A and B are shown apart, each in its own frame.
Chain A
Amino acid sequence: DVQLVESGGDLVQPGGSLRLSCVGSGFTFSNYPMNWVRQAPGKGLEWISYINGASKLIYYTDSVKGRFTVSRDNGKNSLYLQMNSLRPEDTAVYYCARDRPDWAVDYWGQGTLVTVSS
């Protein structure tokens, strides 16, 4: 079975940094693009970042460009999100999500909570 397990969420002060990780299993990780999607408390889904299997194509939503960096290590079946200069509005559950790959997400992790607060 396909599984995605995120980790790394925590309480961090504004301006701080955090690195999220996601480990995939049950599929050939390198064959699939991956996304990060977040959901602020009581709010809708927000797509954050996309990375293709070879890390050659990367996209970010405007609000995180220059602050967040997505990467992957196919040897470790792992996806990462380095988050710098965190703001209170970055508070959300962050989901790791597998792309079909035709720009649709077919599997989601359980999410990891990031809280940015002083």
Chain B
Amino acid sequence: QSALSQPASVSGSPGQSITISCTGTSSDIGGYNFVSWYQQHPGQAPKLMIYDVNNRPSGVSTRFSGSKSGSTASLTISGLQTEDEADYYCFSYAGSRGLVFGGGTKLTVL
């Protein structure tokens, strides 16, 4: 079961926007609109930021948005803030294979 492919790291300055990509296949991201994104700060449990490709749970900042094109999903964070510095993971339903995470992306806010 191969993990979804994410860049190992991205960086940006406060106020800027960044996008994290998550590439899968037609058997996971490309086949279903069940992509979610998680933020994880060191030593903490992950937090749901986006579900069903582009929906935000209550309480999550509107600066976070999600999208999908083909077998690639993306998380965009606008107006970067220092507290956004964390690890980010994509997660997708994969049919009979169950579910699969991306390898994770470390976001550094310079």
> Which residues of A approach B to under 8 Å, CB–CB?
35, 37, 44-47, 49-50, 59-63, 95, 100, 102-106, 108-111
Contacts and interface: CB of A to CB of B under 8 A. Distances in A.
Contacts of B87: 44
Nearest to A35: B99
A109 B45 CA distance: 7
B101 interface: yes
Interface of B: 1, 3, 32, 34, 36, 38, 40, 45-46, 48, 51-52, 57, 87, 89, 91-93, 96-104
A60 B3 CA distance: 14
B45 A103 contact: no
A108 B51 contact: no
A108 B93 contact: no
Given A45-B104, A47-B100, A59-B97, A103 B36 contact: yes
B97 A104 contact: no
A47 B91 contact: yes
